[in-house]
Amino acid sequence: MEERRQMPLIGDRFPEMEVETTKGKINLPGDYKGKWFLLFSHPADFTPVCTTEFYSFQKNYDKFRELNTELIGLSVDQVHSHLKWAEWIEENLGERIEFPIIADGMGRVANRLGLVHPANSSATVRAVFIVDPEGVIRAILYYPSELGRNVDEFLRMMKGFRVAEKERVAIPANWPANELIGDKVIVPPASSDAEIQQRNEAVEKGQIESYDWWLCYRKVD
């Protein structure tokens, strides 16, 4: 395996690299310019938790594509292992894996992204990178090997990113079922006395709602 380098962080551009996948060679992030992509690593092919995850990702693939988001799997298995595993999933579970899976047998990609735990260099950790249409990393999530990921949460995140960018707002906890404000979104906090006054006036006019000047919220279409 290659020498480990510092992993990229949220806000960094996703490292440029050519990867071998079950769909041929892909250049990241360039081949996905104009689209979001969600790259998720798994410890190994033919493992039970990973199999349930891949099945769930595929079942929801159309929902991701409706959100202009592509999926990319990754592990340090060889491409023939990926292909055989995908074949098993289709034959036994009835789902054809349509998204590419990166074959990283030498660990080059995993090491570049910080996906190999020092205690076990033979398997990638369970991680997710969400990358925007400009190739910038917007979220990084890690999970232990015994805990499968929640695909609904990734769909929620993609919807949240779209709303946040379009409306210039922030997304509350558990949105769109937040315990305080339901499916409404948070107006960015005021940063001056003048803005506080504007917020108070907007509340009086019914344009936004508020618990206080620093916690304002509103509906979105």
Instruction: Kindly give the residue spans of alpha helices, DSSP state H, lying in the chain.
Output: 48-59, 61-66, 79-93, 108-113, 151-167, 193-204
Distance CA 40, CA 37 (A): 10
What DSSP string describes 116-161? B-TT-TTSB-EEEEEE-TTSBEEEEEEE-TTS---HHHHHHHHHHH
User: 130 burial class (0-12, 13-18, 19+ CB within 10 angstroms)?
Assistant: buried
Q: Residue 78: CA atoms inside 13 Å, Cβ hemisphere, count?
A: 3
Map residue 2 onto helix, strand or coil.
Answer: coil
Determine the Cα angle at 162 with ends 41 and 166, to 5°: 155
216 assigned to active site: no
How many angstroms separate the CA atoms of 35 and 10, rounded? Answer: 17
3-state secondary structure 72-85: EEEECCCHHHHHHH
Please identify which of the residues 19, 28, 50, 125 carries the catalytic annotation. 50
Annotated catalytic residues are 50
